[in-house]
Structure 1
Amino acid sequence: MGILRRSNGYSKVDKEDPEELIHRRAQFLIYKVMEQADCRRKPSFIRIRLCRLKVKIGGKLKKLRKSAVVSISAERIGVYKQLMNQLKTWRRLFKRATHHGTIATLPRPFFT
């Protein structure tokens, strides 16, 4: 019977002030954010150069595409003009042939 048991081995800690708790949490979150910011890799010189090169290539491709579209449409217009000129010359030739009566003066077939 010589053993004494304590019901409360540890003394109770006073309740913490709610404002102090909020302040401590905010400090912890700030610390975490700062830690993450330090861990992020800073862009290297090569990455910056690659990014600039991509932008430059993209601009040149866009310019090339536009010039190709313009040249193709110019080709179409050229082909259309040539076709119309050819049709005009054919019309003139056929009109001359019918006006001069060359078709009417063809000899008649023998067996009719």
Structure 2
Amino acid sequence: MDLSRRSYGYSKVDKEDPEDIIRRRAQFLIHKVLDKADSRRKPSCLRLRISKLKVKIGRRLMRLRKRMISGVSSLRLGIHGHFTTQLKTWKRLFGRGRQSPTLIALPPLIT
């Protein structure tokens, strides 16, 4: 029977006004932004050097990549051209018999 008279440790809280909730959230965000702005330091000389070095390396890598792509494409064109000329030569050699079925008269063998 003691259970029915037992007092709860938490009391029921009335619902808050939605405007108060919005105002509290806005204040929290404002304080968060202000704290972040205060914690920012001036960029050091070392950081500037590193960022410039990154840009320089990035440019060199881009140029190298472009050179490699152009080299590979020119190599492909060269191989393709060589392959097509070889194919034409083979077609001329072996395709001739199929296109014009003329037999070459050879002299009879002497035995």
Please, which of 62, 66, 69 is the counterpart of residue 62 of structure 1? 69
In structure 2, do the counterparts of structure 1 residues 85 and 44 end up closer, same or farther at CA, with 3 Å as the change threshold? same
Runs of 4+ in 1 over 4 A off after TM superposition: 35-43
State the match for 2:54 in structure 1. Answer: 47
Instruction: Give the C-alpha shift of residue 33 in structure 1.
Output: 4.1
Structure 2, unmatched stretches of 5+, are 1-19
Which secondary structure does the structure 1 equivalent of 2:110 belong to?
Answer: coil
- The total of aligned residue pairs comes to 83
TM-score (norm 2): 0.53
Task: Please list the CA deviations of residues 19-44 of structure 1 after superposition, one character each: whole Å capped at 9, or x if unmatched.
Answer: 3x434312222134436765885562
State the match for 1:14 in structure 2. Answer: none
Task: Please list the CA deviations of residues 50-107 of structure 1 after superposition, one character each: whole Å capped at 9, or x if unmatched.
Answer: 1111111111111111111111111101211222334468x59x932xx2x41xx223
Aligned equivalents of 1:36 and 1:26: distance in 2?
Answer: 15
State the match for 2:103 in structure 1. Answer: 95
State the match for 1:24 in structure 2. Answer: 27
> What code does the residue aligned with 1:62 have?
I
Aligned equivalents of 1:44 and 1:38: distance in 2?
Answer: 16
> Which has the larger share of helix?
2
Q: Say which one has the larger Rg.
A: 1
Residues 63-78 of structure 1: pairs in structure 2 closer than 5 A:
63-78=70-85
RMSD over equivalenced CA pairs, Å: 3.3
State the match for 2:37 in structure 1. Answer: 34
